[in-house]
A and B are shown apart, each in its own frame.
Chain A
């Protein structure tokens, strides 16, 4: 009787609450991940099928300098994206946080609206806007700024623009949340004690909003490391990052074991970076929404 009661009181609610999520995670995260690790140790058939023979081949291929170059390039691009998102996002988040609540929620809404459109459409519209005969080039020509159209499309600059616009909300929202929580009295106290606005910002605001910045970094850096649609569409297929290489292994090149090995490598790199971050900031400090 007692045992039954305990089940009803403790186990059942726990199961009901955590059960579906756990099942979901096991089915759609853990199992696929294990499968990826598994096929990364298999070999490739002539048809590009997976042959179930143990081999280190895929990992040996990774030692090739080609992949080293791609990884360095991808990390650099993701890092630049993250830094730019922070530089653009922080003042923006600060500005919104200082507005009255009703205005702030409307402003937040404004960042979100573009995201109600599929990202591929948004990327395509960048192409349309910036193409040689597009509105931006025509405007510049009509106003006499330039004589001949400038080639914006399929350049690294446009890829960066695409990455930043795709990632910006992930940077703004956590930072907004932590700036908003910042107690006004602390800033007042700082001013009372004679600190300049700059000192207040550097010694009070910035350190206290660090958890928000920290989660922004994670939320922007990791997706931009693996994203391939942006480089595919805005880069014209000339510049490949690690995401594109992985996609190609499962698509055109059909080397699943290598694609899996690259995915494992990406997971390891991401894990390492998170580990390094946690050395600097306690994981509990992360802004939890």
Chain B
């Protein structure tokens, strides 16, 4: 009997060990591209962000193996990039906010666009640090709400701290996503580096925090009725709206003045990447309008690739999640340098609570 118990307990303990690894799919794989053209491509990016079918097609067409590993936070990608990511990965996804420091720190390779003719499909106005990255998809961070259930008609960020919304907001997380909306609500620069302003934003966010039901999973919580308001990405909003189908009662907040955040997810080649030839081939593949159009069916985010948007399905073009008129009134996350520690400290305080 004792033996059985100890075996069972051991099993429980072993199960526990794997818990932490659940969201990591490390495909570090062996390094096979020593001579000639590479046979293996290692990509580090967001999970649930690229069509598996398209990856399979790329593998088949080029007779190569693509290993996808997933990050759970933008910071993970930065850690990889600054800690010699080229040893492990050939392409890493990061966002526009980090490009300046990544270039300054010499962590990423210049990209040879001669090998990526399809990149010309990308709208120049959505392309920062053009020599170093290929924009993939982009995200508006805006407010949507359930017009039947939300007690407040939301027209600005300040409406979000209305006590009537207590426990009703599902929100994206992260210091650099939350503080900008507070700073804008208070009339400051969303990328402020002044401690006094960030401290005020913290006070604003404690009120916002009161109204939060959960951070993350905004789209699911809207669909299953746990939340009635969400601060989320347009792609996730699109998912929620199509999930509800005919019963869709989600509307995009009709912002009058406040700008919304626009962020880009882009691919960079880390310094010292081993399979650059294949990485370029992949970038050319994913910027092909037809290919990207297919990807947009599965992942209906905003896309900087004009030709792909043109080629996309009608469902994508008429998506209610992108039907709002303040697309030009946007702000970007900028590098705040040392001030990031101020943000992090207040963010921590916010999350620890009273």
| Cα distance, A244 to B215, chains bound together (Å) | 14
Q: Evaluate contact between A237 and B101: CB separation under 8 angstroms.
A: no
Closest CB in chain B relative to A118 CB, distance in Å? 6
Please, which residues of chain B bring their CB within 8 A of the CB of A177?
A: 2, 5
Counting CB contacts under 8 A, is A70 at the interface?
A: yes
Counting CB contacts under 8 A, is B15 at the interface?
A: yes
Residues in B1-50 with C-beta less than 8 Å from chain A: 1-2, 4-6, 8-9, 11-12, 15-16, 18-20, 22-23
Q: Evaluate contact between A237 and B215: CB separation under 8 angstroms.
A: yes
Residues in A232-250 with C-beta less than 8 Å from chain B: 236-240, 244-245, 248
Contacts A118-B19, A154-B226 given: A245-B348 contact, CB under 8 Å? Answer: yes
Q: Evaluate contact between A131 and B173: CB separation under 8 angstroms.
A: no
Counting CB contacts under 8 A, is B315 at the interface?
A: no
Of B11, B12, B340, the most chain A CB neighbours within 10 A belong to B12
Looking at A9-17, A46-54, A273-281, the stretch in contact with chain B turns out to be A46-54
Residues in A249-289 with C-beta less than 8 Å from chain B: 251-255, 289
Q: Evaluate contact between A151 and B213: CB separation under 8 angstroms.
A: yes
On chain B, which size bracket covers the interface? 35 or more
Closest-by-CB residue of B relative to A117 is B15
Q: Evaluate contact between A105 and B352: CB separation under 8 angstroms.
A: no
Of A132, A169, A180, A238, the most chain B CB neighbours within 10 A belong to A238
Closest CB in chain B relative to A153 CB, distance in Å? 6
Closest CB in chain B relative to A178 CB, distance in Å? 11
Please, which residues of chain A bring their CB within 8 A of the CB of B215?
A: 236-238
Closest-by-CB residue of A relative to B5 is A173
Closest-by-CB residue of A relative to B225 is A132
Please, which residues of chain A bring their CB within 8 A of the CB of B344?
A: 253-255
| Cα distance, A69 to B294, chains bound together (Å) | 50
| Cα distance, A177 to B1, chains bound together (Å) | 9
Closest-by-CB residue of B relative to A238 is B212
Residues in A127-155 with C-beta less than 8 Å from chain B: 131-134, 149, 151, 153-154
Residues of B within 8 A of A (CB): 1-2, 4-6, 8-9, 11-12, 15-16, 18-20, 22-23, 72-73, 75-76, 78-79, 82-83, 101, 105, 167, 173-175, 209, 212-216, 224-226, 337-338, 340-341, 344, 347-349, 351-353
Residues of A within 8 A of B (CB): 44, 46-49, 66-67, 69-70, 101, 104-105, 108-109, 112, 115-116, 118-120, 131-134, 149, 151, 153-154, 169-170, 173, 176-177, 180, 223, 229, 236-240, 244-245, 248, 251-255, 289
Can you report 5 A-B residue pairs in the complex whose CB atoms are below 8 A from each other? A46-B101, A48-B79, A118-B18, A154-B214, A252-B73
